[in-house]
Amino acid sequence: MTTDTNSRPSTGNAALALDGITVRYGTVTALDDVTLTLDRGRVCGLVGTNGSGKSTLFKTVMGIVRPSAGRVTIGGIDPAAARRSASVAYVPQSEAVDWDFPIVVREVVMTGRYGHQGPMRRPRPADHEAVAHALERVQMTDFADRQIGQLSGGQRKRVFVARAIAQGAPLLLLDEPFAGVDKSTEFALTAVIRSLADGGHTVLVATHDLAGLAQLCDEAALLQRRVLVHDTPGEVLRPENLARAFGVDPLSAEPRSAAPLSANAPAALSAREVR
């Protein structure tokens, strides 16, 4: 962990290492020389304004967006190899899902087990157990046979977190899992994330819930195209640090300075997303 964003820590055996990552969408620089290293068994919160680059960082780790500079390694291997070996699970901010598709919750969570199954994708007892266990952890067992379109927004979020849990990947990337969920679900998901870390998983989680950061995370990174601070939640939440990222102290909501919403020019259409 470092607050010195110019340092180049040894990425050795880290669960996740980004080294000098720059991502551009046309003329928009979404990430600018981002270096971030996560050790195993840690929960790291990713915090920053809308447009600060959080989702872009996740997409870069997944190999969905290609950086113009820098390198990502997941447990020492590159993103494509990590995806092939199912060693990283990703819950995007919004799912590109056909909600009318006739698939039930249990089957959605089972798709997280594909990496463990043969080409015929025939579930084995261990796969059924993993799915049942994951549904239980997010308290969605009672909805297992419900069509995915017949769920509320918060319930859908929980199902996709369950799919990531069922995958059993050592690294989990959760892009705003608390968006649109109620407080009891947020507490339940926080407990799930903490217990995943206790079991040795590493979790990078984007969140706007600064009040819940200390309960959720061992460490946090404050992003504003660059990593401004990477330290304990307490350090990250210091008013002077929040003011650097948000222009206000969001916890007290007192204006500190009139910062622009984004330093970037309007988004260009030539995104370099790799499909």
Question: Which spans of this chain sit near ligand ATP (rule: CB under 6 A)?
Answer: 25, 28, 30, 48, 50-56, 93, 262, 264, 267-268, 271, 273
Non-local CB neighbours of 34 within 8 Å, separated by 6+ positions: 18, 20, 21, 22, 53, 57, 70, 223, 225, 226, 227
Closest distance of CB 67 from Mg ion, Å: 17
| Residue with Cβ nearer ligand ATP (55 or 155) | 55
Closest distance of CB 225 from ligand ATP, Å: 8
| Residue with Cβ nearer ligand ATP (51 or 70) | 51
Using the rule CB under 5 A, is 55 a contact of Mg ion? yes
| Residue with Cβ nearer Mg ion (135 or 174) | 174
Q: How many residues bind Mg ion (CB under 5 A)?
A: 3
Closest distance of CB 232 from ligand ATP, Å: 21
| Residue with Cβ nearer ligand ATP (42 or 225) | 225
| Residue with Cβ nearer ligand ATP (18 or 110) | 18
Q: Of these partners, Mg ion, ligand ATP, none, which one is at the site of residue 7 (CB under 5 to 8 Å by kind)?
A: none
Closest distance of CB 269 from ligand ATP, Å: 7
Q: Of these partners, ligand ATP, Mg ion, none, which one is at the site of residue 30 (CB under 5 to 8 Å by kind)?
A: ligand ATP
Token code pair at residue 41? 């068994």
Closest distance of CB 136 from Mg ion, Å: 29
Using the rule CB under 5 A, is 3 a contact of Mg ion? no
| Residue with Cβ nearer ligand ATP (27 or 85) | 27
Stretch 68-97 residues interacting with Mg ion (CB under 5 A): 93
Interatomic CA distance for residues 215 and 78, integer angstroms: 31
Q: Of these partners, ligand ATP, Mg ion, none, which one is at the site of residue 69 (CB under 5 to 8 Å by kind)?
A: none
Contact 208, 46 (CB under 8 A): no
Interatomic CA distance for residues 175 and 172, integer angstroms: 10
Token code pair at residue 224? 């504003």
DSSP string, 244-260: HHHSEETTTTEE-----
Non-local CB neighbours of 232 within 8 Å, separated by 6+ positions: 218, 219, 220
Strand extents, DSSP E, 140-181: 171-175
Q: Of these partners, Mg ion, ligand ATP, none, which one is at the site of residue 51 (CB under 5 to 8 Å by kind)?
A: ligand ATP
Closest distance of CB 86 from Mg ion, Å: 24
Using the rule CB under 5 A, is 262 a contact of Mg ion? no
Nearest to 74 by CA among 188, 202, 161: 202
Non-local CB neighbours of 184 within 8 Å, separated by 6+ positions: none
Contact 139, 127 (CB under 8 A): no
Contact 50, 261 (CB under 8 A): yes
Token code pair at residue 206? 């984007």
The residue ranges that bind Mg ion (CB under 5 A) are 54-55, 93
